[in-house]
């Protein structure tokens, strides 16, 4: 599955794996206890630790989207270069996709 297609329980599952949670079950078996993609209290420490920068874009095809990237900044929190960019319907979704992408690459199995 491509990281840019992860949503909801599947995204939360892969974030949990990236965080080292060894007690996770696949989302089809049960919903994850930790909802990183919708709970700012869980996502914020990851965003801060990974230095994930979040913005928004408006595209004719995609509409309004959040965009997240990890990389160097100019000191004013504007990215100079980025290891990855990910889009999402919300800031947390984009940021957590970016984290999973950086951890596992563009697809997960």
Q: What is the CATH number of domain 3-104?
A: 3.30.2120
Element (H, E) at 53: strand 52-59
Q: What pLDDT is attached to residue 45?
A: 97
* Mean pLDDT of the region 51-64: 89
Helices (H) and strands (E) in the chain, counts: 3, 3
pLDDT one-digit tens code per residue, 11-31: 999 999 999 987 887 777 666
Instruction: Say how far apart CA 10 and CA 32 lie, in whole Å.
Output: 9
Q: Where are the domains of the chain?
A: 3-104
Work out the mean pLDDT of the chain and round it to a whole number. Answer: 87
Q: What pLDDT is attached to residue 83?
A: 66
Q: What pLDDT is attached to residue 33?
A: 77
Pure H helices in 1-109: 8-18, 40-50, 91-104
Q: What pLDDT is attached to residue 107?
A: 94
In the three-class reduction of DSSP (H, G, I as helix; E, B as strand; rest coil), residue 95 is classed as helix
* Mean pLDDT of the region 60-64: 88
Instruction: Say how far apart CA 37 and CA 4 lie, in whole Å.
Output: 13
Q: What pLDDT is attached to residue 70?
A: 86
pLDDT one-digit tens code per residue, 72-91: 666 565 555 566 789 999 99
């Amino acid at each position: 599955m491509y990281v840019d297609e992860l949503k909801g329980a599947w995204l939360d599952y892969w974030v949990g794996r990236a965080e080292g949670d060894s007690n996770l079950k696949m989302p089809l078996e049960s919903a994850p206890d930790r909802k990183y993609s919708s709970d700012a209290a869980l996502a914020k420490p990851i965003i801060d630790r990974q230095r994930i920068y979040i913005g928004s874009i408006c595209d004719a095809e995609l509409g309004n989207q959040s965009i997240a990237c990890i990389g160097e900044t100019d000191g004013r929190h504007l990215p100079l270069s980025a290891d990855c960019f990910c889009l999402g319907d919300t800031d947390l979704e984009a940021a957590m996709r970016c984290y999973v992408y950086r951890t596992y690459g563009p697809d997960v199995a």
